[in-house]
Structure 1
Amino acid sequence: MTAVHFRTATAGATTTGVPSGTALTVHSGDLTITKAGTIVSGLDIRGLVKIQAANVTIKNSIVRGRTMNAPGALINNLGGFSGLKITDTELYPSNPSPDVNGIYGYNFTATRVEIHGVIDAVHITGSNVTIQQSWLHSNLHYTNDPNQGGSASHDDSIQIQKGSNIRVIGNTISGAHSAGVQITQDRGDVSNFTFTNNNADGGKCTINIAQKTYGPIYGAVITDNKFGRNTRVVNCAIISPSTTKISTARNYYTPDSKIVSVHTG
């Protein structure tokens, strides 16, 4: 077979999270950011972060969370405040539970971020999201999850409920039981979704697109990725209704370089 010449992600332990040698200052308790343009750097945050201002930057930090009694996120931008940047940061809960997730919201860019030990690493509820050069791995999974009525956890590396202009580029994604990327359209239309130059694996199928009541997803591009075979459905890198037309090219399985096809479902 002809060799694959495109470059895919190498994001991992040495390229994501807090840079080696960074001195961290402990911040005890939740951190609510209300001043526009705030830069948070070099913190070890023993609580949850809530964004309530535009153009916030979180970098060179770790967010560990706290004990939770309802579903929530280590970083919460459900208000969709624009210009949020999360860079060279690790999200890893000190108190793992079925309630803890990584990032919630929209209008943010995550670069070289490591997220692990949570249910959903990234939960997108609106537009203008970029996840790049990051490492999403080792999701929490419970066979009896109280948030699922006692059934198994629906843990995803990335779940997209609504939004346009969502870009997933150059990441390493693995370790979810449900899906590496789950597009649900639970809250509204999803469009202009780009998934390229990633190493992706895991889930029942690694990318699972559901239309629900909102109809086809327009502008879906899935190109130049390497997919693993550790899926619960055999050889199921991508599953999508036939009415959603996906631009696909140069997607291969690793390590055998066989071409990925889209399952209809």
Structure 2
Amino acid sequence: MRQLVFIQALLLFVLASPEPSGVVARAAESEQISRSEWPNETNTGVSPSAKLTPSGDLVADQAGMTISGLDIRGRVYIKAPNVTLTDSRVTSASFYIVRIEPGVTGTVIKNCEINGVGSGNDGSYGIVGQGTFVANNIYKVENGIGVSGSDTLIQDNYIHDLLASGSPHYDGISIDGGNSNIVIKHNTVINTHTQTSAVMIDNYFGPISNVEVDSNLLMGGGYTVYSSAQFNGGTVGGVSFTNNRMGKGKWGYSSIVKNVPVWRENVDHASGRLVGPR
């Protein structure tokens, strides 16, 4: 009888015990995170003080030129190295809204608002190419940023409200092969659809090497992030997902196929709990 009472008391103690301190700490951390710490409509895009001049389609074909303060109703095509596009609004239903010609380096796109309209824009990309993309507000496109090339920094951008006509496969950021040395850091990428991803990394067009996905807020899609070597484009290596906050996609947080990325300190955004790779 005394043994039964002891067992019952022990069970009551276990059931009443608090969660491990690490879990509690992570949940508390989640509650403390302010929206202002993440890229959003108030801290990305055109500076509030900027005065915009109307413009149509724009071709940047002079090396080192800076384009600033334009309200562009049409496409931007960057054909020369070391071009900077800043403090401008670009509105277009084009397939490529801002396109950097393959092989062109040194492009900087910063503090721009890129609006893909959301209709008549099958397959659209907000930005496609390689370069430095910082603090842009990108929306109503099928794909926010498509990296075509290497040596690219994607930081502090707000990619959201993905919307396209046709039969879209939504990706916030897509890296589809033939890429190396990519850093994706401190962006907000929200895909409210049940497909495809916030960040897609795959070898469809070629091998992948050295892609760092760190300290982002990544939400939704079928899987929130992909790192896939399922195609015949070559190997996928040097991929890392670290310190990201994730909102679970329809099927899970990640789809990892035929490669082994680094996965460290990624947490569920709502609960603060650590999440593992699939």
TM-score, normalised to structure 1, is: 0.87
RMSD in angstroms over aligned alpha carbons?
1.9
Query: Residue 65 of structure 1 contacts residue 95 of structure 1 at CA under 8 Å; is this kept in 2?
Result: no
Identity of aligned residues (%): 27
Distance 1:141 1:35, change over 3 A: closer
Write the letter of the residue equivalent to 1:59: T
In structure 2, the partner of 1:149 is none
Contact 2:140–2:164 (CA under 8 A) maintained in structure 1? no
Work out whether 1:225 is the aligned partner of 2:244.
yes
**DSSP-derived class of the 1:206 partner:** strand
Instruction: Give distance in 2, aligned partners of 1:246 and 1:79.
Output: 27
- 1:185-222 deviation line (CA, Å, top 9, x unaligned): 12111110100010101110010122111454211111
Residues in 2 aligned to 1:37 and 1:59: alpha-carbon distance in whole angstroms: 13
Aligned to 1:248: 263
Q: CA deviation at 1:94?
A: 4.1
Q: What is the aligned partner in structure 2 of residue 13 from structure 1?
A: 41
Alpha-carbon contact 1:18-1:61 (below 8 Å) kept: yes
Partner of 2:80: 53
C-alpha separation between the residues in 1 aligned to 2:207 and 2:46?
A: 35
Q: Distance in 1 between matches of 2:240 and 2:117?
A: 36
Tell me the distance in 1 between the aligned counterparts of 2:261 and 2:118: 39
The structure with the larger Rg is 2
Q: Aligned partner of 1:171: which letter?
A: N
Note the 1:177-188 alignment, pairs <5 A. Answer: 177-188=195-206
Consecutive unaligned residues in structure 2, runs of 5 or more: 1-20
1:64 CA drift (Å): 0.6
In the alignment, residue 167 of structure 1 is paired with which amino acid? V
Q: TM-score, normalised by structure 2?
A: 0.83
Superimposed CA distance per residue, residues 38-79 of structure 1 (whole angstroms, 9 cap, x where no aligned partner): 10000000110001100000000011125x4xxx21110132
| Structure 1 stretches of at least 4 aligned residues deviating more than 6 Å after TM superposition | 5-8
Q: Which residue of the partner structure matches residue 148 of structure 1?
A: none
Rounded Cα–Cα distance in structure 2 between residues aligned with 1:95 and 1:120: 11
Aligned mates of 1:214, 1:57 — CA distance in 2: 32
2 CA distance for matches of 1:43 and 1:95?
21
Aligned-pair CA distance for 1:141: 4.4
Determine if contact 1:125/1:187 at 8 Å carries over to the other structure: no
Aligned partner of 1:208 in structure 2 is: 226
Residues 260 and 215 from structure 1, CA distance in 2 versus in 1: closer, same or farther, beyond 3 angstroms?
A: farther
CA distance in 2, matches of 1:216, 1:251: 24
CA distance in 2, matches of 1:95, 1:27: 21
Q: Which residue of 1 aligns with 2:4?
A: none
Q: Deviations over 1:8-62 (max 9, x none)?
A: 951101110001121100002x101110001000000011000110000000001
CA distance in 2, matches of 1:61, 1:192: 31
SS of 2:105 mapped into structure 1 = coil
SS at match of 1:53: coil
Segments of 5+ residues of structure 1 without an aligned counterpart are 146-151
Cα pair distance change 1:133/1:113, threshold 3 Å: same
Q: For the residues of structure 2 that align with 1:215 and 1:127, how far apart are their CA atoms?
A: 16
